[in-house]
Amino acid sequence: MGQGRFITFEGIDGCGKTTQLRILAEALRTAGREVVETVEPGGTETGRQIRKILLDPANTAIHPRTELLLYFASRAQNVEEVIRPAIHAGKLVLCDRFTDSTLAYQGAGRGLDSETVHDLDRVACRGLKPDRTVLIDIDIETSMARAKKRNQRTGPDESRIDAEGAAFHTSVRQRYLELAADESGRFVVIDGRAPVETVAERILEALAADV
Ligand code: TMP
């Protein structure tokens, strides 16, 4: 049995983390590792229902604190139902976003204080922290251009947070970079503007000792 590990992927919208998480999961499965992929918000049936509420552009009246609690409600369910059991079974869990997203989006983006975010994290995650976090960093122009392209491809289904302006995403990116600098042992920061295969190689290289 492998050693249970918890690795999260973070970054602003359009950074490519979802694609990279899938590539890494496939590479590790091919190498014989048992991998569980999950996502925040989402990852469980309850979480998927919460995700719908959070990302529906029609829900303009959601208060920032309500939003904060809903993100943690989804996370609490994911931790109990999927993440902890998989880690205990010796599996490698790859999670698309976790509490660093809340620190960046609700903390920096919405201006909620990080102590409140940490307090809720203690309630929802009961001390579970990622072993490693891959931050895929891109500039705001690239993020906006990719979001626009995606919306053209899939129709005008821009999520509530995608719809925020450049200032919001700039402060989210800035907070991510600060979090990574504060915990340089946990974070690895990868330039997301490189070709997909190059980014994938760099991630595999950086995580070699953990997977
Ligand atoms: P995704 O498109 O990467 O799945 O993320 C969904 C959106 O939710 C994205 O715009 C970031 C946002 N988000 C937060 O604002 N706070 C959080 O805690 C999480 C997990 C996501």
**Is the distance from the beta carbon of residue 106 to the nearest atom of ligand 1 less than 6 Å?**
yes
Shortest CA distance to 93 belongs to which of 136, 41, 39? 39
Structural tokens at position 131? 């072993």
C-alpha span between 134 and 101 (Å, rounded): 12
13 lines ligand 1 (CB under 6 A): yes
Which pair of tokens denotes residue 129?
């922290």
In percent, how much of the chain has pLDDT > 70? 97
- The CATH number of the domain holding residue 26 is 3.40.50.300
pLDDT band at 158 (very low <50, low <70, confident <90, very high): low
Distance of CA 95 to CAs 25, 60, 167, Å? 11, 27, 27
Paired with 137 in beta bridges are 191
Q: What digits encode the pLDDT tens for the residues 79-138?
A: 999 999 999 999 999 999 999 999 999 999 999 999 999 999 999 999 999 999 999 999
Structural domain of 48: 5-206
Residue 200 forms part of a structural domain: yes
Ligand 1 mean position to 55 CA, how many Å?
8
**Number of domains composing the chain:** 1
pLDDT tens digits along 166-197 = 999 999 999 999 999 999 999 999 999 999 99
Quickly tell me which residue has 């700039």 as its tokens: 170
Whether residue 29 lies inside any domain: the answer is yes
61 CB burial (10 A radius; 0-12, 13-18, 19+): exposed
At 20, the amino acid letter reads Q
Does the C-beta of 71 come closer than 6 Å to ligand 1?
yes
- Asked whether residue 211 is domain-assigned, the answer is no
CA of 51 to the centre of ligand 1 (A): 9
